[in-house]
Amino acid sequence: MHTTPITSLSVLPARREDVELRTADGLTLVGELAVPADAPPRATLVTLHPLPTHGGFMDSHVLRKAAWRLPALAGLAVLRFNTRGTTSPRGTSQGAFDGGGAEGLDLAAALDLVERRGLPHVWLVGWSFGTEVALMHGRDPRVEGAILLSPPLRRAGDDDLDGWARFGRPLIALVPEHDDYLQPPAARARFARVPQAEVIGVDGAKHLWVGETSVRRVLDEIVAHVVPQVPVPLPATWSDAVGSPQNEERSA
């Protein structure tokens, strides 16, 4: 039996499908749904990418690596999509960037898709701007909780945090020690108004979670909270006894 290291370019086995989301205001958004190759998913991640006006899209590296690894390593379904007006190699979503307002309709369309597919135990995973969309618009009964990567808390304010407090679902914030916008001490103070919030400071990390050490920490935390029955840390190698990873040359 041969094992292969899991690297930044490793794409582990999954069933991957290009999907289109239809918003309530008539737009078509492009995305991809990845599900485990040979078993029903244990839970579902709906991902929300960083700021598209600063290069964020569905292929932003942490979200892409979640889709490449977590169906195989943790039995998770992962939905990635471009919010309105955003372009990636998958294509361009219709509409125009709205600063987090109308993007709530984009999130609703994503939840509609996972509901139609019967995908279980839906969690939001937002990164940077995506955390603002999650906080402002993610209080939906179909959502079991949210994981926030590098939350800036610039568009989302205390009213949104108070809304999550009333919502009562888990809220996990992974906050880099060297974040450009909100560092762990300030994050703990801001999130203190949400009794069920957990703020996890990540030593040595930065806003963009660059490097495999940071990516592995993020993926381990996602798995630990969403599917705690799956042991972490996740494996760093993949066995060819259950399929070989492919490597794709894509930008980080």
CB 68 within 8 A of CB 10: yes
| Helices and strands: H and E segment counts in the chain | 6, 14
User: Is a pLDDT exceeding 70 seen at residue 180?
Assistant: yes
User: Is a pLDDT exceeding 70 seen at residue 31?
Assistant: yes
User: Is a pLDDT exceeding 60 seen at residue 14?
Assistant: yes
At which residue do the structure tokens 């990873």 appear?
245
User: Is a pLDDT exceeding 90 seen at residue 42?
Assistant: yes
Q: Which H or E element spans position 192?
A: none
CA dihedral defined by 68, 74, 76, 78, rounded to 10 degrees? Answer: -20
Domain 20-229 has CATH 3.40.50.2000: no
Query: pLDDT-derived band of residue 179, with 50, 70 and 90 as boundaries?
Result: very high
Query: pLDDT-derived band of residue 247, with 50, 70 and 90 as boundaries?
Result: very low
Among the ranges given (74-83, 117-126, 199-208, 237-246), the one the predictor scored with the smallest mean pLDDT: 237-246
CA distances from 146 to 72, 140, 191 (A): 21, 11, 13
Tell me the whole-structure pTM to 2 decimals.
0.95
Q: Mean pLDDT of all residues in the chain? A: 95
